Amino acid sequence: MKTQVHPQIWRRYGYGGPPEPWDGGAQRDLDRLATSYYVDVLEMRRQLLAAGDDEATVLEVEEVFTLATRHKQEIDFALRHWATPAERDRVEDRLASLMRAGRRMRELAESH
């Protein structure tokens, strides 16, 4: 006998359905990728702050760092449990933001 999912249950999880386990190895791969991007941001931040550039650059570095930290924490939280399709999309979006933060830090480092 097949179990039916009632509409009110689907609405509770939003569009895309209920949480499902991550594919084999996906959690580890996403965590490694997010961690490598975040470590890159940390290293670029250290280098840029050590250079002691103007205050505008320091403010931008701190802003990018804060954003990257927030995204890394969101990814870490989402990877701890089963995720809905919407949460999986959010993890991909946050991962892309981490990558862009790393690029921006590199651009700042190269310009100084």
3 state DSSP class of 17: coil
3 state DSSP class of 6: coil
Triad 12, 17, 97: Cα angle to 5° = 100
Most confident residue range from 15-19, 53-57, 81-85, 96-100? 96-100
Q: Which residues contact 84 (CB under 8 A, 6 or more apart)?
A: 13, 14, 16, 17, 18, 19, 20
Predicted confidence (pLDDT) per residue in 9-45, tens digit: 556 666 667 788 888 889 999 999 999 999 999 999 9
Residue 52: pLDDT band with limits 50, 70, 90: confident
Q: What is the pTM assigned to this prediction?
A: 0.82
Per-domain residue ranges of the chain: 24-111
